[in-house]
Amino acid sequence: AVAMPAIAQSAPEVKWRCASSFPKSLDTIYGASELMAKQVSDITDGKFQIQIFAAGEIVPGLQALDATQNKTVEMSHSASYYYVGKDPTFGFGTAVPFGLNARQINAWFLFGNGLTLMNDFYKKYGVVMFPGGNTGGQMGGWFRKEIKTVADLQGLKMRIAGIGGQVLAKLGVVPQQLAGGDIYPALEKGTIDAAEWVGPYDDERLGLYKVAQYYYFPGWWEGSAALNFFVNQEKLAELPKNYRAALTAAMAQANESMLASYDAKNPIAVQSLVKAGTQLRRYPSDVMDAAYKASHQLYDDIAAKNEDFKKVYEDMKAFRNNAYLWWQIVEFTYDDFMVRARTRG
C-alpha cells in the first residue's frame, strides 16, 4: 500500500567529486561510473550528487588513488593494479597474471576473504574499496609479427605495464610504459613491436588493427580485470547511513553492469576486427607455460619480502584452486560443448 503523507526527513545536500582514472573514450568503463552517480542521484532525489571527472580533469589518471587519500576528491574510479609501484599487493584488487576469472574474483571479493583482506591493506592509504566493474578476460595484445615460440619474444619492445610486464621481461620482452593515446603512433612507427590494451571493443576504437596484424589470446596477465571504486575512509564514515546504502547499491549495480556491457560489445567488435584483416592467434603452449612458471616464481620472490602480499596471495591461490576445481566440472564442460556445437553450426 502506498500512503502519501509528506513526512519530513533529514536529507542533507551532499556533493562529491569522483576522479576517474579513465578517459571518456573508454565508454564502457567510464559509463559504469556515470551509472553509479546517476543511480545515487535518482535514489536521493538529487540530494547526493557525485560528479565524475575524467582522467586529467582534476588529477592525472594514475593519481586517482592519491587524490582520494589526500581528500582532493571524496572518491575515485580506478584500477588497483595501477599502483603496484607503491606495493605489488595492489595487483590483487584488479588482476595478477594467471589470477581469477571475472566470476571468481567477484566471488572472492564478496563471499571469500578477498574484499576483507584488500580493505585491510587499503587502510594504509586511507581508502575503502568497492568492486567497480570488470572487463572480463582480456586479449593478449597486438603484435607486428607472429609469435611461434617463447624465443620469438626475445628483445621485443612491448607496451605493457605492471606485473604482466615484469613477467614478460623474464621471458625476454622489453616492457614499455605508454599512455593509451601514444600506443598507435608508436606501433605505427615501429618504436614498439607489440602492445596490449583491453579487448576487441576498446582496441578497435584505438585503431591498433591498422598497424599490427596479429591479435593474441588469452591475455593471461588479465584473465579478468576488476575495476575499483576507492572511497576516502573518513568521507565514507561522514555519510548518513541511508546515503551509504544508496552508494553501496549503486556501486554494486555499476559493478555488474560493466561486465555485462563488455560481454555484449566484444562479440560484435571481434568480428569487425577479423573482417578488417586482423589475424587471431592463440599463444603457443610454451609461452603460456613459461609465463605461468615465471609468474609464480615472481610471486614467491615478492611474498618472501612482503607480508601483505604474502597474506593476500596465499588466500587468492587457495580460492583459485577450489574455484577452478569446481569450474572444470560444470562451467567448463558446458562451455566446451557449446563452443563445439556452435562451430558445427
Contact flag: residue 325 with its own copies (CB under 8 A):
yes
Binding its own copies (rule: CB under 8 A), the pick from 30, 261, 302, 312 is 261
Q: Using the rule CB under 8 A, is 189 a contact of its own copies?
A: no
Tell me which stretch binds its own copies (CB under 8 A): 50-58, 144-152, 176-184, 251-259: 251-259
Helix (H) or strand (E) holding 184: helix 180-189
Q: Which of 189, 241, 275, 305 binds its own copies (CB under 8 A)?
A: 241
Residues 283-322 that bind its own copies (CB under 8 A): 288, 292, 320-322
Stretch that binds its own copies, among 184-192, 204-212, 243-251, 300-308 (CB under 8 A): 243-251
Q: Which amino acid is at 264?
A: A
- Kindly state the number of chain residues that form the binding site for its own copies, as judged by CB under 8 A: 97
Segment 14-53, which members bind its own copies (CB under 8 A)? 14-15, 39, 42-45, 47
Q: Is residue 60 a contact residue for its own copies (CB under 8 A)? A: no
- 176: which 3 cell numbers? 614499455
DSSP 254-307: HHHHHHHHHHHHHHHHHHHHHHTT-EEEEPPHHHHHHHHHHHHHHHHHHHHH-H
The C-alpha atoms of residue 73 and residue 46 are separated, in whole angstroms, by 19
The alpha carbons of the chain give a radius of gyration, in whole angstroms, of: 21
339 near its own copies (CB under 8 A): yes
Strand-pair category, 226-232 with 75-78: antiparallel
Residue selected from 151, 179, 268, 276 as contacting its own copies according to rule CB under 8 A: 268
What's the distance, CA 79 to chain centroid?
6
Counting every residue written for the chain, the total comes to: 345
Name which position in 94, 266, 303, 308 contacts its own copies (CB under 8 A): 266
